[in-house]
Amino acid sequence: LHALLGAAAAAPDHGQLLPWRFVIVPRSERASLAEVFAQALRERDASATPDQLDQAREKAQRAPMLLLVVVDGLRGDPTVDLAERILSAGCAVQNMLLMATAMGYGSALTSGKALGSQALRQRFQLGAGEQALCFLSVGTVAARRPARTRPTVADYCSTLAPAPINTD
């Protein structure tokens, strides 16, 4: 865990604001997180079935190591906008994912509507400017998923064309 968190510290951070943080969710708190997930589902769907609530609760138990990724849109220099802060958090998370892989662990990000719920905000004591971005899960890989089809470079990269010549 210390190595993963250390890798996060190498992320680019405009103004050295440290606009992100991680909250470790120990096994001893997974039952309370499970109830947060169930409450979040009830917040957005009052007619959720007992099976749906159980499925929401089960998500809290999946990963051996679980962290919540939080970004702060207000901390420090107000000229550093939210997009830059989220980008820094994303770089910190990617560094952690790469470190986990280098150490032989599997890792994944999970998101969903529960991240914006009042129940989650209260349980994690998120401040006024804070936003839960995702959960980061790390553990030993039990079974590998088939490799997903990756886009080609041409799908996401282009070259700036010369500017048109203005003849006026």
126, amino acid identity: L
- Residue 164 maps to a domain: no
Model pTM above 0.85: yes
Amino acid at 39: Q
pLDDT band at 77 (very low <50, low <70, confident <90, very high): confident
**Residue 128 pairs with which residues in a beta bridge?**
none
Whether residue 159 is contained in a domain is answered as no
d(CA 38, CA 53): 5
Reply yes or no on whether the pLDDT at 9 is more than 90: yes
Q: Tokens 């989220």 sit at which residue?
A: 86
Asked if residue 96 is part of any domain, the answer here is: yes
| pLDDT score at 74 | 87
Higher pLDDT, 146 or 69: 69
CATH number of the domain within which 109 lies? 3.40.109.10
Name the residue range of residue 61's domain: 2-140
Structural domains in the chain (count)? 1
Composition of the chain by helix, strand, coil, percent to 5: 45, 15, 40
Q: Pick the more confident residue, 90 or 81.
A: 90
What are the helix (H) ranges across the chain? 2-8, 30-44, 50-58, 82-102, 118-123, 153-156
Cβ proximity of 67 and 25 under 8 Å: yes
pLDDT in tens, 127-146: 999 999 999 999 998 888 88
Q: Give the model confidence (pLDDT) of 48-64 as tens digits.
A: 999 999 999 999 998 99
